[in-house]
Amino acid sequence: MKPYYLLPVLFLLCTACKKDKQEQGNIQVTFKNVVNGVPLVLNTAPYTNANGETFTVTTFKYYISNISLIKMDNSELRVPDSYFLVDENTAASKTITFNAPVGEYRAVAFKIGVDSIRNVSGAQTGALDPVNGMFWSWNSGYIMAKMEGTSPASTAPGQTLTFHIGGFKGNFNAVQDVNLVSPISLTVGLERRPQLTITADLYTWFTGVNLVKFSENSAIHVPGELAWKISTNYRYMFRITDVTDL
């Protein structure tokens, strides 16, 4: 018997590996950082956490990665190589644009942090470049999100707050999945680019399932249970607050 049936299989394999040629548009997302609904102002503005402790914020950064778009039929479409570092201190980093195939979508999903694969794949570049100060050298791995500030309640020298949240292994994997349903569907066309505003509320970091008191916890800079607990709080920090789809 001649294995002619292998021909179509081979052909399918070839096409499966071939780069996607579908028509691409794009989506723009602007992140607005707030604390308990109030716009975040670095260094000066005082805020109060859920435990009644006042604090200021000097640094607020987080990774958004592995973006997917959810189609109207609920199937998921991955945006390849999507890694962004949103940094309150860098205006340009707060608006991100990524390619999306022409079509209609009902939700966006992403990870807060960097997936485990990129944590173990050696030297990276772009948003993942360690010059961004989001990589632990002594214990290889990305800091998924970072908040630094001060609080009179902190017992650390200089009353500082240092929350470096990371860890991609085992029970305390701090990479969190977020899924945000859009209030109206998003239609990507060649000339039509939906713009979303996503609000990130830093207040959620210290409240929710795991209440954080600065008097007891003012510094995290290792992966582990504490870091993971904060990540389970902040996975609820995002809301879509505005959509322009024209």
Partner 1 sequence: MTKYLIYAGCLFLLIWSCRRNGDVRPGTQPYTLELPSNFPAPVYDMSWNPLTVQGVALGRRLFYDPRLSRDSTISCGFCHQQFAAFAHFDHPLSHGIDNRTGLRSVPGLFNLIWQKDFMWDGGVNHLEVQPLTPITDPNEMGEDLARLISRLNADQKYRGLFRDAFGEGEINSQKLFKALAQFMATMNSFNSKYDSVMRHAPGVQFTAEEAGGYATFQAKCASCHKEPLFTDGSFRNNGLPYNPYLHDAGRMRITNSTGDYLKFKVPSLRNVIKSPPYMHDGRFYDLFDVFLHYSENIEQTPTIDPLVKNRIPLSNQEQRELYLFLNTLTDPGFINSKSLSEVLITD
Of the pair 90, 179, the CB lying nearest partner 1 is at 90
Say how far residue 106 (Cα) sits from the centre of its chain.
19
Does the protein bind partner 1 through residue 1 (CB under 8 A)?
Answer: no
Does the protein bind partner 1 through residue 119 (CB under 8 A)?
Answer: yes
- 8-state DSSP, 223: S
Does the protein bind partner 1 through residue 92 (CB under 8 A)?
Answer: no
As a whole number of angstroms, the distance between CA 27 and CA 39 comes to 24
Does the protein bind partner 1 through residue 81 (CB under 8 A)?
Answer: no
As a whole number of angstroms, the distance between CA 101 and CA 23 comes to 6
Q: Report, in Å, the least distance between residue 221 CB and partner 1.
A: 13
Does the protein bind partner 1 through residue 236 (CB under 8 A)?
Answer: no
Range 205-234, binding partner 1 (CB under 8 A): 222-224
As a whole number of angstroms, the distance between CA 221 and CA 224 comes to 9
Q: Give the residues across from 63 on adjacent strands.
A: 85
Does the protein bind partner 1 through residue 90 (CB under 8 A)?
Answer: no
Q: Are 201 and 32 in contact (CB under 8 A)?
A: no
As a whole number of angstroms, the distance between CA 116 and CA 176 comes to 11
Q: Are 95 and 52 in contact (CB under 8 A)?
A: no
In one-letter notation, the amino acid at residue 53 is E
List alpha helices for the chain, DSSP H: 6-17, 116-119, 225-234
* Given 120, 184, 190, 211, the residue binding partner 1 (CB under 8 A): 120
* Given 90, 140, 215, 244, the residue binding partner 1 (CB under 8 A): 140
In 3D space, the residue among 174, 21, 212, 164 whose CA is nearest the CA of residue 102 turns out to be 21
Q: Report, in Å, the least distance between residue 51 CB and partner 1.
A: 26
Part of the chain binding partner 1 (CB under 8 A), chosen from 38-46, 58-66, 78-86, 117-125: 117-125
* Given 91, 131, 209, 246, the residue binding partner 1 (CB under 8 A): 131
Of the pair 65, 119, the CB lying nearest partner 1 is at 119
Q: Give the residues across from 148 on adjacent strands.
A: 59, 162
38 to 57: interface string for partner 1, x by CB under 8 A: --------------------
* Given 1, 5, 17, 75, the residue binding partner 1 (CB under 8 A): 17
List residues near partner 1 by CB under 8 A. Answer: 2, 6-7, 10-11, 13-14, 17-19, 119-125, 129-131, 135, 137-141, 222-224
